[in-house]
Structure 1
């Protein structure tokens, strides 16, 4: 089977996860890396034995490149993805897919127009505990979903924002804890629950208000399409990065996802369905363990022209709609219909 040539745009911390996954894959090979910091690009190219560029347009016009991985600051995702598909490349973009729903819609249109796939890195869908929970819910064995709870309690320092050059501002990050840290949890909640139709929520900035203009804390009630109700809380004001908690209350049982495990409770019985620790990874534990799985699935989809296992722009847009709804609800005090 052909090995797809890959380019990674952006050589920040997350790019190493992508590069290692490509190197380990039988379906891809790393052709080049790109960064506006010449020394950073050169260091990555030396580590992974590939070419390097400073201008991303050189990478997307490289004839050996089939797939472009976008690991840049949020505000660059949409424009770079659109340029890549126009150049005939498939694209895998880190979350968020874009910083606005309108940008994501344009990406989806360009993807269809040029016949190229754009996938979104919501890798936590591929975690074993997420996959098993989805399988159980979709089977109907434990009845319909009645409610979902998602809790994210993390922390970020002043330096996390000031040293980045782009975090902490709406124009470049697109938001705060919602679009950067908690978006994976919102994606899992809507994916497991079958989609959200309306939200009511609030956002606040409790710490570092003199440093950032975005929110560090958010809470919301999510109204699902199937009649279920969700509650959501996320903050960057804690003192450590605790494991994310997700609970799914169904008619006949409750599922709990926490730190790589999945537990099912039915009455007084408690069954451990998936064991493991999210911290058992060479990378930051809150990045999840499944980038390599997602990347392999994306490459397999490109090679077979079968997009069933790609997390598409349209799917990636759902969490953006929820986030946009929470912002609007916070400013108006109203329930906001998003679908």
Structure 2
């Protein structure tokens, strides 16, 4: 791909970010693809004025028209390809809202130009793609962040805080459940459904779509410790809706001093994203975005319980794109295994790859 802007311009943008000049100016983000319906969030985020949508790259003209009309976005800033968007608008960053398979090609286009990238979970369709993304990000010193819904849950961070403060004692087991009735049953847009149930474009089915949440949360909870081994089983319980991919996955992670069970499913009767953390003295139940329970053990089967109703976290930790801006403008420095970080999500991909191999072979996969 040809360089869309001079090196001096790219360097100037970086110098401005580091020095703090232009700190309050909106972050100019381009959108790569519109088929992932989580894209609505960036349009809603932009209303606050902290970010500016520099342009959209979308080959499907009808799909692009739906979004430009809904959000009154100027049609002249819609481009057929990412190359055209970059060369015309010089965005500081790109947010990927197409297929998971597209993540690698987006980073390939952006990294040499110093353009940072945020992708929707998971990071990639395979470990091979993930390694290429990581190599490009490190070579060209760009941020590649991965966005998960649960990253912005106040209950997620309250639970982690309780673990750090040893409120429940050393962690021994974690149960994480994510999913819904399935893409077809909940009525996702046809452009989204087309690739969500495609084993190439999505890298799999429910295992990839929802198994990544548990792997991401466990990697942060364990401070980047890799599992000793991964075991998984998958099922296809809705062949009429998901003919080429699994819609049920159970993943067991073994650590040196703990274990985790990840239930990733397109067969829950009620959509859910919840986590249970069991320590030696008690348990934390992050039931949803705002509701959390703490139980401290008393005797054999008794306990004292405290319930929490949590408020949203403070800006920028309540919004992926405000967080992206804070990281790029040096207002926040992520930890090495923070939920959005590349280091965390490389381990996530290693876990997902091992889970796919285990489900295929029926064997426990020991990580090297």
Computed over aligned residues only, the root mean square deviation of the Cα atoms, in angstroms, reads: 2.5
Report the counterpart of residue 48 of structure 2 in structure 1: 24
Inter-partner Cα distance in structure 2 for 1:211 and 1:120: 25
**Cα distance change on mapping 1:78 and 1:307 into 2, 3 Å:** farther
8 Å CA contact 1:33, 1:44 repeated in 2: no
What's 1:282 paired with?
none
* Deviation for aligned residue 1:235: 2.1
Pairing partner for 1:327 from 356, 359, 367 = 356
The C-alpha deviation readout for 1:160-211, integer Å capped at 9, x for no partner, is: 5976332322211100001113322332233224444121111121221685
1:197-238 deviation line (CA, Å, top 9, x unaligned): 1211111212216852111111122112x4101122222124
Q: Secondary structure at the match of 1:220?
A: strand
2:55–2:89: 8 Å Cα contact kept in structure 1? no
2:247 is aligned with 1:223: no
SS at match of 1:110: helix
Aligned residues of 2:32 and 2:94 also touching (Cα < 8 A): yes
2:159 aligned with 1:133, yes or no? yes
Deviates more, 1:120-129 or 1:37-46: 37-46
Distance (whole Å) between structure 2 residues aligned to residue 142 and residue 302 of structure 1: 36
* Contact map agreement 1:176 1:215 (CA 8 A) in 2: yes
Alignment size in residue pairs:
324
Residue 81 in 1 paired to residue 107 in 2? yes
CA contact (8 A) 1:196 1:223 kept: no
SS in 2 for 1:62: helix
Matches for 1:26-175 after TM superposition, within 5 Å? 26=50, 28-46=51-69, 47-50=71-74, 51-152=77-178, 154-156=180-182, 157=184, 164-175=193-204
In the superposition, relative to structure 1, how do residues 126 and 338 fare at CA in structure 2: closer, same or farther (>3 Å)? farther
CA distance in 2, matches of 1:54, 1:134: 43
Q: Equivalent residue for 2:344?
A: 315
Describe the SS at the equivalent of 1:132: helix
* Equivalent residues of 2:178, 2:213 under 8 A apart: no
3-state SS of 1:233 partner: strand
Matches within 5 A, 1:225-244: 226-238=256-268, 240-244=269-273
Q: CA–CA distance in 2 between the matches of 1:92 and 1:66?
A: 11
What is residue 181 of structure 1 aligned with on the other side?
A: 210
1:136-173 deviation line (CA, Å, top 9, x unaligned):
11223432111001223521227759763323222111
Is there any run of 5+ residues in structure 1 with no aligned partner, and where?
Answer: 278-289
Taking structure 1 as the reference length, the TM-score comes to 0.86
TM-score by length of 2: 0.80
Distance in 2 between the 1:189 and 1:126 partners? 16
Could you tell me how far apart the structure 2 residues matched to 1:23 and 1:67 are?
A: 18
Identify which of 294, 298, 306 aligns with 1:264. 294
- Structure 2 alignment gaps of length 5 or more: 1-22, 298-302
2:225 is the counterpart of 1:202: no
Compared CA separation, residues 273 and 155, structure 1 to 2 (3 A): same
